[in-house]
Structure 1
Amino acid sequence: FLADEESSRLFLATMAKSQDKIPHSQGLSSTDSVRIVKPEKVWLEPGKGIAGRVAKDKKSLLVNSVDSKERLNRIYEDCRFEIKSILCVPLLVKDKVIGVIQVCNKRKDVIFKKEDEHLLVSFAVHAAIAIENAKLYQEVAEKERMKKELEIAHRLQTSLLPDNPPQIKGYEIGAMSVPATEVGGDFYDFIDVSEAKIGFVIGDVAGKGLPAALFMAVSRSFLRAEAIGSLEAKTVMEKTNRLISQDAREGMFVTAFYAILDIPGKNLRL
């Protein structure tokens, strides 16, 4: 059993290498090979059952006369063998319970002894360190993955922004994008609608990270494709919206402003 950090409950996590031999476990013979199994929705509240008591008290428990399933919890109700004896020890890291190890039914119906408890406690010390190290490694790996994802999203976002605003006589046009700590789907664009007209786009995609950056790229491409040659901003947005709606996943959307500047006429139409 491993401990859930948020709720302090225990969940059943049966772990073994594919070629390990675990005799007398869930009805397996000594020649059966087992694999990693993580049962779903099997939880123990602190203090409930033998494993729950061990987790709460942070003390080993040896029971050689198991006669009540109330002490075992529903986990064992469907077992294909009878539970006669149990030895359970906590997994501790700096006095913090990260789980428990529980073994049942010593071979040949021999009862568990203090020597068995000492051996399992010694094993639990090393197991707890290994489990904690594995969790830390996963956390570091996840942070590294997120860092790389944000780097990719940032490069994608900046590569799609215009290098320079258009230079048009009689107009002073400028733009600036200051990304937050989390890269999102913010963008702006200038579109040559025709020789006498230019489109301005400001958009914001819902979400953060790589998914938002990718959705921004798709939205930008759709809008540019519809804008070139079209003189009505409303029509461009309606067609773009239909395209984006067909391609968008649930929860993904973009908020955008689009206007067309009539250069000689000096008017801006939304």
Structure 2
Amino acid sequence: MTALPAREPASENNAFERKNSRQETPVSTLKELVANLRREQNKVQNLLSSLGFALRSFNNLNQFLEIIPLMATRVSDSDGSALLLYKGEGKISLEQVHCQGGLACQEVRQGIAKVTRELGKKNTSQAEEIVALDALLEKALPTDIRLFGTPILAKGKERGRLYVFTRDRAYEWTLSRQKLVQLVADQVAVAIANNDLAVEVRQKEKLDRELEVATDIQFHLLPRKYPKIQGLDLAAACRTANRVGGDYYDFIPANYDQPQSKTETDETIGSSQPWSIVIGDVMGKGVPAGLIMTMTRGMLRAEVLNHHSPAKILEHLNHVMYDDLESSHRFVTLFYSQYDPKTRRLSYSNAAHNPPLWWQASTNTVQRLDTLGMLVGLDTDSKYEEATAQLDRGDTVLYYTDGFTDAVNVKGQRFEEENLIQCFQKAAAQQYTPEAIVKHLFDQVQAFIGDQKRSIDDMTLVVIQVC
């Protein structure tokens, strides 16, 4: 009877131990779960950190893309991953595939390659390809493989898809896994955008080099030195709106095709012989206009060799250039003149160019030198008229392109021909030299449009003065 109470403390101790044991089990389990989560979090952070480092370090896009499926597989705990990119024109490219956990990569690769070939044969838009891609891949892959994909968006445009796949039927495409794979896809998008930008920069650098060459060629095609023409003082300048322009001027001696004597130079050849003075403007600006300007120069110089009259030269030039100008949808305005130092006569013909201005020293008046004629390249059968001006000592002739008269100020007003005539007449009446007249007119137009503003069109001046 006395032994019974002695068991009660033992019973209480056992109960306490059982209760304590039940409390320790969930705590240890929770600790293990937290530890696993931390390890998983560290793994994911390390993977994403490695991906970011690769994005900063790799200069080659293909090198970076090689590691993408591996990263996507690791962060999503899947059996493998595949990266597909859209190449445009109905083409989808399988860039990389990675498999692990015993999944056979060969059958996955073959299934994806089959789908990309099928889509490449169809004349479908990229939007249709995107819709069809997931469904076609699911049919092409083995039935026990589950596929999950996420888009690769660069500059608001889908450039490809990143897939993960698994044979694990218990695998869940959780929100966390979706976000991690999307992070990897976003890194791919950044790499693609950076590569696009690098390609654009290289293309721009290439274009800049080509423009430098074109600018240099054009600079050397325009007269670098003024020829010595008996009884004539002259000056010229050309300012292009872009690095390459469509304005053209030239001084061509009547006998430049003849062999030079030992005492003749490029500046003195045929100084007492007739000279051709020409100015032109190709419709448009930039490299295309510069190319046509170069073509015009070569063909005109070839025509001068025939020693025809100004009207005939323009007629022949128009006939020869018509096909090329029509196919390029461009035209050329051209004023062609021939000056005879012995007679001081200026014969000319105009192909719809701005008429040069002739200031007569004896009367202090300005006349326009013009004849009827169509644009070069407008009609293959165009005819051109011809006229002659008898210059006298002190007379000055101004050739110009429409970049001067079309110059616009901040109020939207154009410089117009009237202002040009006034500025020219004032400078000529004050006995400015051709060089001074050229500088004065450029300064006047610049002041009109604004000191900090650049002309939107090429501007060219040629001034000849009888002395």
TM-score (norm: length of structure 1): 0.66
- SS for the counterpart of 1:201 is strand
Identify if the C-alpha distance between structure 1 residues 40 and 133 changes in structure 2 by more than 3 Å, giving closer, same or farther: farther
Q: Distance in 1 between matches of 2:96 and 2:317?
A: 52
**Structure 2 match to 1:165:** 226
Q: Which moved more, 1:236-245 or 1:199-208?
A: 199-208
Question: Which amino acid is 1:268 matched to?
Answer: L
- On the 8 A contact 1:91/1:97 being kept in 2, the answer is no
For residue 181 of structure 1, report the CA deviation from its aligned partner.
2.9
**Structure 1 match to 2:338:** 260
Q: Distance in 1 between matches of 2:133 and 2:227?
A: 72
Identity %, equivalent residues: 28
- SS for the counterpart of 1:141 is helix
**Structure 1 match to 2:425:** none
- 1:156-187 CA deviation, whole Å, 9 max, x = no partner? 11110112222233322111111223412322
**Structure 1 match to 2:173:** 113
Q: Distance in 2 between matches of 1:38 and 1:215?
A: 42
For residue 191 of structure 1, report the CA deviation from its aligned partner.
1.0
Q: Which has the higher helix share?
A: 2
- On the 8 A contact 2:246/2:290 being kept in 1, the answer is yes
Question: Which amino acid is 1:145 matched to?
Answer: K
RMSD: 4.2
Identify if the C-alpha distance between structure 1 residues 77 and 119 changes in structure 2 by more than 3 Å, giving closer, same or farther: closer
Question: Which amino acid is 1:216 matched to?
Answer: M
Q: Distance in 1 between matches of 2:121 and 2:211?
A: 31
For residue 227 of structure 1, report the CA deviation from its aligned partner.
1.2
Q: Distance in 2 between matches of 1:139 and 1:77?
A: 32
- SS for the counterpart of 2:93 is coil
Match of 1:99 among 158, 166, 182: 158
Mind listing any 5+ residue stretches in structure 2 that lack a counterpart?
A: 1-83, 99-105, 256-271, 349-467
For residue 221 of structure 1, report the CA deviation from its aligned partner.
1.0
| 1:89 equivalent in alignment to 2:150 | yes
Identify if the C-alpha distance between structure 1 residues 101 and 164 changes in structure 2 by more than 3 Å, giving closer, same or farther: closer
Counterparts of residues 1-270 of structure 1 (less than 5 Å): 14-17=92-95, 22-25=109-112, 27-28=114-115, 42-44=125-127, 72=131, 75=132, 82=139, 87-91=148-152, 97-99=156-158, 101-102=160-161, 106=165, 113-114=173-174, 117-118=178-179, 120-194=181-255, 196-248=273-325, 249-270=327-348
For residue 143 of structure 1, report the CA deviation from its aligned partner.
1.5
Q: Which moved more, 1:169-178 or 1:114-123?
A: 114-123
Equivalenced residues, count: 230
Q: Distance in 2 between matches of 1:112 and 1:185?
A: 66
Larger radius of gyration: 2
Mind listing any 5+ residue stretches in structure 1 that lack a counterpart?
A: 4-9, 52-71
- After the TM superposition, which segments of 4 or more aligned residues of structure 1 sit over 4 Å from their partners? 10-13, 17-21, 37-41, 75-81, 83-86, 103-112
